[in-house]
Amino acid sequence: MWQSLFDELKDHGFTVLAVAMDQPEAARPWIEAAAPAYPCLIDRDHHLADLYNLVNVPTALWIDEQGRIVRPPETAGSTDGFRAMDRKTFAIPDAVIAERNRIKTLYFDAVRDWALRGPTSVHVLDEGRAAAKLNLPHATIAEAHARFRLGLHLLRQGQADEAQAQMAEAIRLHPESWAMWRQAAAKNERGLAAGPEFWARVDALGTRPYYAPVDIAAQPDSAAR
Amino acid sequence: MITVLHEQRETRWPDAAAHGDELWLDGHAIEQATGWTWKPEGLCRDDVCVPLPRAAEAELLRAGLLNLAALWRRRGQPVVHDAASRTWVLGTGAAQRSAALATLQAPDFALPDLDGRLHQLSSFRGRKVFLATWASW
């Protein structure tokens, strides 16, 4: 997904670090098919979600040369356009696709701008704005991560019932986490947790987003164009 | 055999004891399982020491063992376990996670690629890192 950005920017002190919050056997075919040149890590226990308080994928954050977060975790170029899909034909209206492409381009351009300009990029947030944009966890989220970790461990040990009970409790404690729900849910023949239960959960969002929109301004004068 | 999961650590302790909500470990096990060292002044890691509350010594201490689960809960950190398999998770509390994130220093981690080779975030210092998650599901 990020190969073109990586190819273009890797000689500008930039790298992509991709992390699959997934089981290795499920992630393997995707990685082998795309064969990216950047590191692709496997996070089978969703450790990153616990560490950075993440609830969905694709989520990205920008880390500068000193290891500082200059853009906290946010939706990485995706939109809620899929919610306009015809659920029988899977067709998405052209206007929705166009808007989806516009948002994705905007986000990729912002990453490119940061890679080329570093701290002078308009997309780099100063400490105050970055801190204000951080999503911090609360106690029930911390317990949800502990239970999810236990559930994934028990699943590997062959204790399917106990595993499901722990993961169900984790999901109850942390209903905003799509990562927990989809990892634990039954998958279709394409490996997707996209059955009626998924759509019911999406519909239950109402006006709330599945992918939180990102506040990135267009840059008509961008060096990236 | 008791299994202890903490952050990315997974350790097994044949001699540890667990009763109900209590998990009793000796100093060696505590250090291996959590990275914290049990010293006279408390549990220490790097420059930080968390003193053991004197008033709670009866609950926390027993013949060279520490009830780590009780101390963990006292610090507001989640402890969950599966009784049948004697597996314990010592989670990290929301306050600890939040404090780490609020520094804006990216919390470090090491994760394997498909070949099992570990990659550590901090080893990319000196480069801009676009850290992006994805999944097949």
pLDDT tens string A83-100: 999 988 999 999 999 999
In this predicted structure, what is the pLDDT of residue A171?
A: 98
Whether residue A143 and residue B80 make contact (CB cut-off 8 A), yes or no, is yes
Whether residue B82 and residue A19 make contact (CB cut-off 8 A), yes or no, is no
**Residue B105 domain flag:** no
Q: How many CA atoms lie within 13 A of A224 on its CB side?
A: 25
pLDDT at A220 over 80: no
How much is the mean pLDDT over chain A?
Answer: 95
**Residue B38 domain flag:** yes
Domain count for chain B: 1
Helix (H) or strand (E) holding B116: none
- Rounded CA gap, B7 and A211, in Å? 27
Q: Is A216 on the interface with B (CB under 8 A)?
A: no
Whether residue B82 and residue A134 make contact (CB cut-off 8 A), yes or no, is no
C-alpha distance from A120 to closest chain B C-alpha (Å): 13
Which residue of B10, B104, B130 is the best one to mutate when testing the A interface, meaning the one whose CB has the most A CBs within 10 A? Answer: B130
pLDDT at A223 over 70: no
Which residue of A74, A149, A152, A174 is the best one to mutate when testing the B interface, meaning the one whose CB has the most B CBs within 10 A? Answer: A149
Whole-prediction pTM value? 0.94
Q: In the 8-state DSSP scheme, what is residue B125? A: T
**Residue B3 — pLDDT band, cuts 50, 70, 90?**
very high
pLDDT tens string B29-42: 999 999 999 999 89
**Residue B119 domain flag:** no
Helix (H) or strand (E) holding A4: helix A3-9
Q: Is A96 on the interface with B (CB under 8 A)?
A: no
Whether residue B94 and residue A136 make contact (CB cut-off 8 A), yes or no, is yes
- Rounded CA gap, A61 and A176, in Å? 19
Q: In the 8-state DSSP scheme, what is residue B106? A: P
pLDDT tens string A56-86: 999 999 999 999 999 999 999 999 999 999 9
pLDDT tens string B55-114: 888 899 999 999 999 999 999 999 999 999 999 999 999 999 999 999 999 999 999 999
Among residues of chain A, what percentage have pLDDT more than 90? 92
Which residues 98-137 on chain A approach chain B with CB closer than 8 angstroms?
111, 114-115, 118, 127, 130-131, 134, 136-137
**Residue B131 domain flag:** no
Given a contact cutoff of 8 angstroms between Cβ atoms, the answer to whether A63 and A47 are in contact is no
Among residues of chain A, what percentage have pLDDT more than 70? 97
Whether residue B127 and residue A19 make contact (CB cut-off 8 A), yes or no, is no
Residues spanned by the domain of B73: 2-96
| Mean pLDDT calculated for residue range A45-51 | 98
- Rounded CA gap, B47 and A14, in Å? 33
In this predicted structure, what is the pLDDT of residue B15?
A: 87
Q: Is A187 on the interface with B (CB under 8 A)?
A: yes
In this predicted structure, what is the pLDDT of residue A218?
A: 73
C-alpha distance from B58 to closest chain A C-alpha (Å): 26
Whether residue B91 and residue A69 make contact (CB cut-off 8 A), yes or no, is no
In this predicted structure, what is the pLDDT of residue A219?
A: 66
Instruction: Walk me through the domains of chain A, giving residue ranges and CATH numbers.
Output: 3-133 (3.40.30), 139-204 (no CATH)
pLDDT tens string A103-145: 999 999 999 999 999 999 999 999 999 999 999 999 999 999 9
Q: Is A139 on the interface with B (CB under 8 A)?
A: yes
**Residue A225 — pLDDT band, cuts 50, 70, 90?**
very low
ipTM rounded to 2 decimals: 0.96
